[in-house]
Homo-oligomer: A and B are copies of this chain.
Amino acid sequence: MNDFEFYNPVKIFFGRDQILKIASQIPSSANIMLLYGGGSIFRNGVYDNVINALKNFKITEFGGIEPNPTYETSMKAVEIIKEKKIDYLLAAGGGSVVDATKFIAAAALYENGDPWKILSKSDPVTASIPFGVILTLPATGTEMNKNSVISRKSTVEKFAFSSPYSFPQFSVLTPEAAGTLPRNQVANGTVDAFVHVIEQYLTYPVNAPIQDRFAEAILITLIEEGPKAYANPADYDAMANLMWSATMALNGLIMCGVPGDWSVHSIGHELTALHGIDHARTLAIVLPGLWKVLRVEKGKKLIQYGERVWNITEGTDEERIDAAISKTAEFFESLGIKTHLSDYGVKKDTIEKIVKRFEERKWLELGDRGLTTPEATRKALEYQL
């Protein structure tokens, strides 16, 4: 395996009745901002539990964080934080609320001009307001990592940043609250977690058997448990297993000592930026297309994946690779996640737009071994028209 560093100090509280514990995790003098999204926390019990747990704290509420959270909304929160001298943030909701909170926490203490530079110029974060998380939606893994993705409406862009200052201090994972999710969000979360694992696993072999098997463990569990949670989000056991899978998918563990390939995400972010397609759905479109383009270069791992995850043990290498790609797309479709651009009304001109953007940004060799060139991106998307 390759050399690596690993560090993840996020404290996890998992299961039933865990929200009460947050009072002991937040300084008693804290001036808290509670951040949330469209209001699901008022329906799933999380809001009441948080207010009950924090009855001795001063709390300012900031709601309305949108899916694919924006710079614009985030900066409104930053303004209130500065005005009210808020010194602790609590994100309650899904990955969008958490990602926005990470950016807001950093932007509020940013001293180098417009905080957009954290995203557009990768200007390093050097301080962050401490924050905790109550997670109600298994998907992005942001509850246990230092990454965040933010969109900007005015420029129709979507960028990620990562900083050791952006780890939550704690995350409460609540399968019960997730049990009230709409089914399409469960489907999105399952596919999002699945592709996170793939981006750290489906590259080329480096003799890292623990990492490979952990990745396969998460994939197999998502394939087993995702459909159960999709069929009935209130199935506590299935939701709990899905939730822990999604967290393990992107907490840094399975990327230890192995190459990564985040080009499915890079391409997908453009589809969200340009057409507002749900993040997970963009991944489900791009992944099969990119595998068709890179089937030779990624062949060894595609065959291993087919065998260990889908039990594809017969046929020529070519047939096994085909089967692995088909099984994956079928899995996404079985969760109601369409895998072609036409399913979303996206046409060829969008492909040209994305390729041009990558060329302009000099993103000429994305991903594993730089294989995702603008030309590979074009071909990948054309496969999925």
**Are A12 and B5 touching (Cβ within 8 A)?**
yes
A48 contacts partner chain B, Cβ-Cβ < 8 Å: no
Q: When chains A and B are docked, how far (Å) is the Cα of A241 from the Cα of B206?
A: 11
Chain B residues near A17 (CB, 8 Å)? Answer: 3
**Are A14 and B257 touching (Cβ within 8 A)?**
yes
Given contacts A217-B214, A245-B210, contact A6 B12 (CB under 8 A): yes
Q: When chains A and B are docked, how far (Å) is the Cα of A244 from the Cα of B3?
A: 11
Q: When chains A and B are docked, how far (Å) is the Cα of A318 from the Cα of B51?
A: 54
Contact pick for A237, options B1, B18, B224, CB 8 Å:
B1
Chain B residues near A218 (CB, 8 Å)? Answer: 210
**Are B221 and A213 touching (Cβ within 8 A)?**
yes
**Are A7 and B11 touching (Cβ within 8 A)?**
yes
Chain B residues near A225 (CB, 8 Å)? Answer: 209
A208 contacts partner chain B, Cβ-Cβ < 8 Å: yes
A220 contacts partner chain B, Cβ-Cβ < 8 Å: yes
**Are A5 and B11 touching (Cβ within 8 A)?**
yes
**Are B248 and A210 touching (Cβ within 8 A)?**
yes
**Are B1 and A16 touching (Cβ within 8 A)?**
no
Contact pick for A4, options B9, B14, B210, CB 8 Å:
B14
Given contacts A3-B16, A16-B3, A240-B1, contact A224 B210 (CB under 8 A): no
**Are B207 and A237 touching (Cβ within 8 A)?**
yes
**Are B207 and A213 touching (Cβ within 8 A)?**
no
Contact pick for A210, options B6, B7, B244, B256, CB 8 Å:
B244
Flag A1-45 by CB within 8 Å of B: 1 or 0 each.
111111111111111111000000000000000000000000000
A305 CB to closest chain B CB (Å) equals 15
Kindly report which residue of chain B lies nearest to residue A18, judged by CB atoms: B3
Chain B residues near A13 (CB, 8 Å)? Answer: 5
Please name 14 further chain A to chain B contacts, defined as beta carbons within 8 Å, in addition to the given A5-B11, A210-B245, A217-B217, sorted by A numbering. Answer: A1-B241, A2-B15, A4-B15, A6-B12, A6-B14, A12-B256, A15-B257, A207-B237, A209-B217, A209-B220, A210-B217, A213-B213, A216-B217, A253-B253
| Selected A-B contacts with CB under 8 Å, 26 pairs | A3-B14, A3-B15, A4-B15, A5-B11, A5-B12, A6-B14, A7-B9, A7-B11, A7-B12, A8-B8, A8-B9, A9-B9, A207-B237, A207-B241, A209-B221, A209-B225, A210-B217, A210-B221, A210-B241, A210-B244, A210-B245, A213-B213, A213-B217, A214-B217, A216-B217, A244-B256
Residue numbers of A with Cβ under 8 A of B are: 1-18, 207-210, 213-214, 216-218, 220-221, 224-225, 237, 240-241, 244-245, 248, 253, 256-257
